[in-house]
Amino acid sequence: MSRGRTVRKGSNRLKSVKLRSKKDMVEQEVATLAGGCFWCTEAIFTELKGVESVESGFSGGQVERPTYDQVCDGDTGHAEAVQLTFKPSVISYQDLLRIFFTVHNPTTPNRQGHDVGAQYRSVVFYHDDRQKKEAEQVIKEVNASKIWGRPIVTEVLPYSVFYKAEDYHQQYFKNNPLASYCENIIAPKVTKFRRQYLLKLKE
């Protein structure tokens, strides 16, 4: 534990100054992840301590400001993604990735369950070299653990741009808990996630 350092200020009185690590000085960081239907991904990451905001949208494509219908048609090249703003002093980028790789199936290209198409592919969009290295390291860890029984096919790509989806997609699970997809697909995933990561949930 750092005891800080003592500095002389103004008069002869001494004042203790607490040293802050470089990590502590980074108050917020952004992560952009694609892991299938963004309704599911948003519902999960919203509940984690240290995650301050989650937006559902699209990344990795060629068309500017695509609509949901355009992405579903499969012609824009985008993946459904979420963009997280989080506090690395509370939850690290690596821990976010470890959770990411357990709450969706990263071994099925262009598919999550019954959702099929390139927009449902698994992607980590890294914002800097550190995020890239950490993503590659976590993928090695998960592959070595053999928790999925098959190799991970998640792409690790440089972040370019994120387009926020239409308003009705934001907080979809929270706002539509009785919708069929929410009851049958999202709710069981969220329940399993809560059991597995109980200590990391917001109070």
Q: Does residue 4 register a pLDDT over 80?
A: no
**pLDDT of the residue at 16:** 35
Based on the residue annotation, tell me whether 182 is a catalytic residue of this protein: no
**pLDDT of the residue at 136:** 98
Q: Does residue 170 register a pLDDT over 90?
A: yes
From residue 43, alpha-carbon distances to 46, 52, 54, 157, 172 in Å are: 6, 13, 9, 24, 8
Residue 1: pLDDT band by 50, 70, 90 thresholds? very low
Query: Mean of the pLDDT values across residues 149-166?
Result: 97
Kindly name the residue from 37, 40, 72, 182 that is annotated as catalytic.
37
Task: Compute the C-alpha angle 40/45/46, nearest 5°.
Answer: 100
Residue by residue, DSSP assigns 36-97 as: S-HHHHHHHHTTBTTEEEEEEEEES-SSSS--HHHHHHT-S--EEEEEEEE-TTTS-HHHHH
Residue 26: pLDDT band by 50, 70, 90 thresholds? low
Partner residues linked to 30 by β-bridges: 85
Sorted by where each starts, the structural domains of the chain and their CATH numbers stand as 25-197 (3.30.1060.10)
Percent of the chain residues topping a pLDDT of 90: 84
**pLDDT of the residue at 203:** 85
Residue tagged 């989806």 (tokens): 165
Q: Does residue 61 register a pLDDT over 50?
A: yes
**pLDDT of the residue at 22:** 53
Query: Mean of the pLDDT values across residues 51-72?
Result: 96
Q: How far is the C-alpha of 169 from the C-alpha of 69, rounded, in Å? A: 12
**In the structure encoding, which two tokens stand for residue 68, read together?**
């949901």
